[in-house]
Amino acid sequence: MSERGVGFRMSGLLAAVGACLLAVPALAGSGQPSPMQLGFQEAVTPVAADIQWLHDYVNYIIFAITSFVLALMLYVMWRFSEKRNPTPSRTTHNTVLEVAWTVIPVLVLVAIAIPSFKLLYYQYSFPAPDLTIKAIGHAWNWTHEYPDQGISVDSVMLQERNAEGKNEIEEAIKAGMPANQVPRNLAVDNEILVPVGKVVHVLVTSTDVIHAWTIPSFGSKVDAVPGRITATWFKAEKEGIYFGQCSELCGKDHAFMPIALRVVKERVFNDWVAAVKARDKKRVREIILAAARELAGSARTADSRPLR
């Protein structure tokens, strides 16, 4: 290859590296994935916050151990090379060292186990509920029942091209819904609402195959198993629209059964329940649209990206 060709290739490689360095990943927002996301979605429940803390805590330990082992390997390669150490030592035992490399890993595991078990206990120590929802997975959509309120909501993903050839996402935007609150493959025709700052128990089951009810910002993920009731709980401490998806392979449309849960003021939630119970679809849309516009008018959207 000519020198000119090599030069062009090197220039292209350097340009690609430079582009990667400049394209710094964005911090993750809450409610939905962010462009070039790095890290978890923002935690809006105590459980999610504890999960993320434990993740970071364990990573610090991993980084420390990795750095120590790498430094030790480099030192050994340098200090005990043939040039610097022509006559190898014949030492076979060192009691202090052997005790250290047994005890220290045990202490590391204990340091990880204690917060892990505390978090696990916290996740399954259900506080008294302010609201109970029953999530039922179908192939391939969700039904959410509110037993105490006597209502049920079926949610189906908005299509970019439905049976009539219409783009349901664009129609929702034209109707007044902020564009960043109807993301592709996550927005649904009927959102569910819960009041902010309230403990919500979610009973999860399925009518056909195994699904999984998951909302990353809540730290909630539980299997929906036919013939069984599993459960999770959350306490959302921030208003917004939070999206999740089925996270258990369940068939051809597994990727297209999202969950859209909007956290609102208790007054708004009560108005929504009354409208759903009255089967007043127009009023339901008005309540959700008003909540969406209020969220869009705040400093940042649900996923923490500034409005444009």
Specify the pLDDT at position 3.
Answer: 46
Specify the pLDDT at position 87.
Answer: 86
Domains and CATH numbers, the chain: 131-296 (2.60.40.420)
Specify the pLDDT at position 85.
Answer: 87
Asked whether 44 and 238 are in contact (CB, 8 A), the reply is yes
Pairing of strands 220-224, 211-215: antiparallel
Specify the pLDDT at position 27.
Answer: 52
The two tokens of residue 13 are 């490689």
Rounded Cα–Cα distance for residues 269 and 285 (Å): 13
Specify the pLDDT at position 34.
Answer: 86
Closest CA to 131 of 297, 295, 272, 299: 272
- Tens digit of each residue's pLDDT, the chain (308 residues): 444 444 445 455 545 544 443 444 445 567 898 888 888 999 999 999 999 999 999 999 999 999 999 999 999 999 988 888 888 888 888 899 999 999 999 999 999 999 999 999 999 999 999 999 999 999 999 999 999 999 999 999 999 988 888 899 999 999 999 999 999 999 999 999 999 999 999 999 999 999 999 999 999 999 999 999 999 999 999 999 999 999 999 999 999 999 999 999 999 999 999 999 999 999 999 999 999 999 988 744 444 444 33
For 303, phi then psi, to 5°, come to -100, 20
Closest CA to 196 of 145, 146, 238: 238
Helix (H) or strand (E) run with residue 134 in it: strand 131-138
Helix (H) or strand (E) run with residue 263 in it: strand 258-264
